[in-house]
A and B are shown apart, each in its own frame.
Chain A
Amino acid sequence: DQQVKQNSPSLSVQEGRISILNCDYTNSMFDYFLWYKKYPAEGPTFLISISSIKDKNEDGRFTVFLNKSAKHLSLHIVPSQPGDSAVYFCAASAYTQKLVFGQGTRLTINP
């Protein structure tokens, strides 16, 4: 039972445009959500997070949106840069549950 789902295995975006990565979850107890970025042959690195008491969190070019009623979160990257090409994982946690990760989305930024 996949509690956190990233339904798009890959996404290709032109440099300078907006990248939107999506994530859906099924467990209504999740109250903290994170996005990680992973380059080949490296470990995932934390990118941005959001608590369930908020619906938006920004950090520079990265914005995470949370829609609790739809159990959906998204990561917006504006503008997209070649260095953003990586695999992005969303993750969720609840008070009684450790981090649960999605399958990942491979983002490719084309020049």
Chain B
Amino acid sequence: NAGVTQTPKFRVLKTGQSMTLLCAQDMNHEYMYWYRQDPGMGLRLIHYSVGEGTTAKGEVPDGYNVSRLKKQNFLLGLESAAPSQTSVYFCASSLRLVNTEAFFGQGTRLTVV
């Protein structure tokens, strides 16, 4: 049982380039999330989804887009990468939206130069 899997694990982008981070979960969870982790800032919610075909903004959504075409997948896109988007990105999923634990992927370390 893989849980939550993120692809890729590492990536270096040049400013202005675009990329998509893929998240896949095999727990049949309705809810999925993208977080970014920065030193001294903890984990901040970028976007989330409450089900297939739905997405919503989190705390820091600017510069990112997401899509949830299939229940098991949640994609995070950067259309024009900026150095401020250098971070570690975590995908997570949960059975419920609140009062429950979320299961996290192993993270994607993104560097924008």
Contacts and interface: CB of A to CB of B under 8 A. Distances in A.
B99 to A, nearest CB: 4
30 contacts: A4-B42, A6-B42, A32-B98, A32-B100, A34-B101, A36-B104, A41-B107, A42-B106, A42-B107, A43-B90, A43-B104, A43-B107, A44-B43, A44-B104, A46-B103, A51-B99, A89-B42, A94-B98, A95-B98, A96-B98, A97-B98, A98-B33, A98-B45, A98-B48, A99-B45, A101-B35, A101-B42, A101-B44, A103-B40, A103-B41
Interface in B13-54: 33, 35, 40-45, 48
B82 interface: no
Contacts of B98: 32, 93-98
Interface of A is mostly: strand
A4 B59 CA distance: 14
Interface residues of B, number: 24
